Structures are given as structure tokens and as C-alpha cells.
Amino acid sequence: NAGVTQTPKFRILKIGQSMTLQCTQDMNHNYMYWYRQDPGMGLKLIYYSVGAGITDKGEVPNGYNVSRSTTEDFPLRLELAAPSQTSVYFCASSGRGQGGEKLFFGSGTQLSVL
């Protein structure tokens, strides 16, 4: 199994550009998450989804959008990129989301907005 796959691994954007970070998982997990991690900091929840067609905001949703049309895929869209969005982005999934199931993380996307 591949687990959680994120693409791209690195990206440089200019201010005002848009892009989509791709995330797919092959574990048939219902719960999927997007986090951002600034240098030396913890993980901040951007958006999460409890199943196909259902998404909700986390702690820091401004400037981002998500969709969940299938169980496998959970893309994160950045519109009008800003320097404050320079960060490492992690996608994760879990089976139940109640804590008894562990989070499986993708390898991350390092994004720089210049």
C-alpha cells in the first residue's frame, strides 16, 4: 500500500498565483485532514473531512479551499497566494477520527510564496 500520497513535494509560487495540492489515500479512510506547519511550530489544522462530500473548517482556513468528491482524494486549493502561506503542508487520514485510530501522514509539500 502507498498510504497517503501528496504532490508536489516542493513548489515556489509568486504572490497572487493559485495552485492545488493533491492528496490521495488508498486505505479507504473516511477522515482526511490538511495541516500546515511553520518552522519550529506545531501543526495547525486547515480543513478536514469526515467523508466524501463533507468538509469543515479547522483553525486556519482563510485563503484555502477544499473538496472531497471521492473517499480517496482530498485536494487543497490556494487562491491568491500570499507570503503568509509559506509553510510545509501535510495531508493525513485516519479510519475513525476518534483518537483510537492513528493519523497517517503524507510526506509533505514545502511551499514558498515569493
| 47 membership: H or E segment, kind and range | strand 43-51
**Binding-site member from 46, 106, 111, 113 for other proteins (CB under 8 A):** 106
Identify which range of 15-23, 65-73, 77-85, 90-98 contacts other proteins by CB under 8 A: 90-98
According to the binding rule CB under 8 A, does residue 33 interact with other proteins?
Answer: yes
Q: Which of 58, 64, 78, 79 is in the footprint of other proteins by CB under 8 A?
A: 58
Q: Work out whether 39 is an interface residue with other proteins (CB under 8 A).
A: no
Distances (CA, A) of 75 to 8, 25, 53: 12, 11, 13
Phi first, then psi, for residue 12 (nearest 5°) are -115, 125
The answer to whether the CB of 80 falls within 8 A of the CB of 62 is no
Residue 10 corresponds to which cell in the numbers above?
Answer: 516542493
> How far is the C-alpha of 42 from the C-alpha of 44, rounded, in Å?
7
Q: Select the span of 8-16, 61-69, 78-86, 100-108 touching other proteins (CB under 8 A).
A: 100-108
Residues near other proteins (CB under 8 A) are 31, 33, 35, 41-43, 45, 48, 50, 58-59, 90, 92, 94, 97-100, 102-108
